[in-house]
Structure 1
Amino acid sequence: MPAMQEVLQLVGRLNYVWTNTESLFIYLIAHLMGTSKEAAIVVFLTLNTTRARLDLIERLAKLPSTNADDRSKVLGFAKRLGREARLRNKYNHCIYSFDAAGSVASTQLMRIADINDDLRYGKTEALDDAEMARIEETIHAIGAVNKDIWSFLHLHHIQA
């Protein structure tokens, strides 16, 4: 079982790489809307959830005025980040249970599942070495999207 410090550092890295990558949406918004960085910052900060920001860049990319190559690339970024968002959300919205030795025993999700006439919440899952490796893979996948967005911005001479 991973130690508390190891889990917190890994989740911290996950949050950092996600936030750093999501901030690049500002430049994608500016490019897709044909507006200034300042206006894009206002739009970005007004949308206070990742899902809303992803929806916006996807919708802007789908506009007929968007170049087909840009559309394809931006939709690809959004799709890749959408896949990684599930694990990121899981570890941002759970409670961690530690044993007496300070090792993580499990996570408990803070989500309600409404299933027919039943209500379920607090799903508990083990946080073992395999899951830690999965978090590490997600960090690398988000980092790869980050690099690809930077390449896209550079190609379009967008200063970030």
Structure 2
Amino acid sequence: MPRRTEPLLLLIGKLVYTWSNTESLLIDVMELLMGVDKKVAIVTYLTLNTTRARLDLIERLSKLEHVPQATRDEVFSVVATMKAASKVRNKYSHSIFSFDESGDMDRTELLRIADFGPTLRYGKVEPIDEQELQRLSDAIQMLVATNREIHAFLAAQPRALPRSA
């Protein structure tokens, strides 16, 4: 296998796994913020079919008046980190890869359409270089840290948040 392709595939696999593992913790955050049992949180999570919708719900739930400010701040931090990491994850989940003459992956082409007035743009091409490999590694580490942050956050929470009157 060409020299850059195998490490890149390993990083993409780690990104997908780490993302999935971290995003699944949003079920527990929903359970806490909604004051419901796990089954209701799972149904809600699965009904919202995008990460963005799930993060928006969590962010909005944390803004309710009964949610303590410290909890709200922690949720905002997690949501901001996941939104930042989702850009890298989306790039590698929704791109095709181009190869150089030696068979090495050397570019991503984003499979996304952007409307700009009367014109369309699609297929944004970006090189896969050392800087991009580092960006991918950084996103993975950010997700690992966020995963731990969510676990610590959930462990520190009371069984249920106080409810407003």
Given the two structures, how large is their TM-score scaled by the length of structure 2?
Answer: 0.90
CA distance in 2, matches of 1:143, 1:63: 28
CA distance in 1, matches of 2:76, 2:115: 31
Give the match for residue 155 of structure 2: 154
**Is the CA contact 1:84–1:142 (under 8 Å) kept in the aligned structure 2?**
yes
Give the match for residue 135 of structure 1: 136
After superposition, give the CA deviation of every residue in 1:82-122 in whole Å (9 maximum; x if it has no partner). Answer: 11111111111100012343311211011112112221111
Unaligned runs of 5+ in 2: 160-165
**CA pair 2-108 structure 1, distance change in 2 beyond 3 A:** farther
After superposition, give the CA deviation of every residue in 1:45-93 in whole Å (9 maximum; x if it has no partner). Answer: 1111101110110011011121111111111110111111111111111
Unaligned runs of 5+ in 1: none
CA distance in 1, matches of 2:121, 2:57: 31
**Is the CA contact 1:28–1:57 (under 8 Å) kept in the aligned structure 2?**
yes
Q: How does 1:80-99 map to 2 (within 5 A)?
A: 80-99=81-100
CA distance in 2, matches of 1:41, 1:100: 47
Deviation at 1:39, TM superposition (A): 1.1
Deviation at 1:136, TM superposition (A): 0.0
Identity %: 44
CA distance in 2, matches of 1:37, 1:19: 18
Give the match for residue 65 of structure 1: 66
**Is the CA contact 1:90–1:109 (under 8 Å) kept in the aligned structure 2?**
yes
The count of aligned residue pairs is 158
CA distance in 1, matches of 2:78, 2:107: 31
RMSD: 1.5
After superposition, give the CA deviation of every residue in 1:15-67 in whole Å (9 maximum; x if it has no partner). Answer: 11111000000110000011111111111111111011101100110111211
Q: 3-state DSSP class of the match of 1:105?
A: strand
Give the match for residue 163 of structure 2: none
CA distance in 2, matches of 1:68, 1:105: 46
